């Protein structure tokens, strides 16, 4: 969970339909993307930086769900987490995999995959929203609360993966 008292930690803040995206980057890679409240103001990054590239690519994705990211990202985690995150990057826009299907590809368990998804430091770019439960959406952002699931529903609807993404209905995967 991002610390909202230190908004200066973000090299860029991008307004999205579902939140403000806080981007943290260094000179070589994006290291984190946080979902901040939609009330947080946007912040333009310095030009010719990785944060600027991230802003351009995130905005391109928001305009076109088929946009393919080629951002340099620095993923830091256990070997298992890295395996999960790399496997998630192979799921193309408009497609989903269940926790179990992803677990099978890396010789893991669905629960362990779900835990790694919840710890993803660069959501959207590493598309943890494309990993779903066998019988529905599953969780998002380490929980099953309405607000995080609303973001997951928005992202999957944006990519054409949901038939009905209204908050009060059971979302159906295509």
Torsion of the alpha carbons at 51, 55, 58 and 60, rounded to the nearest 10: -140
- Secondary structure of residue 146 in the 3-state scheme: helix
Backbone angles phi, psi at 65, to 5 degrees: -65, -15
Can you tell me the distance from the alpha carbon of 49 to that of 24, in angstroms, rounded to the nearest whole number? 11
Of 91, 116, 122, 128, which residue is the catalytic one?
128
Can you tell me the distance from the alpha carbon of 68 to that of 71, in angstroms, rounded to the nearest whole number? 9
Six token digits for residue 133: 């439960």
Asked if 25 and 33 touch (Cβ cutoff 8 Å), the reply is no
Known active-site residue 128: yes
Residue with tokens 């929203």: 129
Which amino acids are annotated catalytic? 128
């Amino acid at each position: 969970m991002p610390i909202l008292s230190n908004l200066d930690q973000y090299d860029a803040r991008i307004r999205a339909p579902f939140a403000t995206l806080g981007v943290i980057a260094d000179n070589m890679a994006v290291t984190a993307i946080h979902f901040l409240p939609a009330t947080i103001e946007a912040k333009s990054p310095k030009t010719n930086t990785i944060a600027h590239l991230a802003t351009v690519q995130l905005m391109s994705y928001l305009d076109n769900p088929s946009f393919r990211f080629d951002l340099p990202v620095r993923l830091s985690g256990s070997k298992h987490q890295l395996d999960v995150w790399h496997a998630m990057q192979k799921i193309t826009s408009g497609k989903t995999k269940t926790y179990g299907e992803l677990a099978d590809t890396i010789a893991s368990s669905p629960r362990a995959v779900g835990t790694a998804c919840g710890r993803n430091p660069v959501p959207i770019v590493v598309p943890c929203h494309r990993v779903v439960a066998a019988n529905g959406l599953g969780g998002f952002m380490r929980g099953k609360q309405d607000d995080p699931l609303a973001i997951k529903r928005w992202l999957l609807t944006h990519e054409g993966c949901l038939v009905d993404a209204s908050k009060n209905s059971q979302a159906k995967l295509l």
